[in-house]
Amino acid sequence: MRTVRTYSDIIKIKMHNETTQQYNGYAVRPSAHRLPDGSFSSNLVLERNGRARAEGRYQFYSLDYFASEEQALQYSTRWARHWVDTRG
């Protein structure tokens, strides 16, 4: 059986995918995970450019929780910039 996806379903799937941004020497990959209660967990992967993968990779899960996926992604991005600016 083949599932037909609507445009809004495709947008939702794309938002779950990680997008990579560059910020002050780091690859920033914010993501959001939908929880059973309908809220979204904000998550983040930071990778220092030019470093060995394990050495320069930082993963943060459930930084905070939000009512929308967009809010969770925006928070992850802001949190990443603050982390890089204060510790990078």
* Tens-digit pLDDT profile for residues 45-62: 999 998 666 689 999 999
Residue 2 lies in a domain: no
Band (12; pLDDT cuts 50, 70, 90): very low
* Residue 34 structural domain: 7-87
61 assigned to some structural domain: yes
Residue 65 has pLDDT above 70, yes or no: yes
Is 55 contained in some domain?
yes
Q: How many helices, marked H, and strands, marked E, lie in the chain?
A: 2, 5
pLDDT at 50: 83
Total number of domains in the chain: 1
The CATH number given to whatever domain includes residue 53 is 3.30.160
Q: Is residue 40 part of a domain?
A: yes
Decide if 84 contacts 26 (C-beta within 8 A): yes
Residue 45 in any domain: the answer is yes
The answer to whether residue 68 sits within a structural domain is yes
* Ramachandran quadrant class, 80 (left: phi over 0; alpha: psi -120 to 50; beta: rest): alpha
Task: Confirm whether 1 is domain-assigned.
Answer: no
Residue 28 has φ and ψ, to the nearest 5°, of -110, 120
Q: Label residue 7 by pLDDT band (50, 70, 90).
A: very low
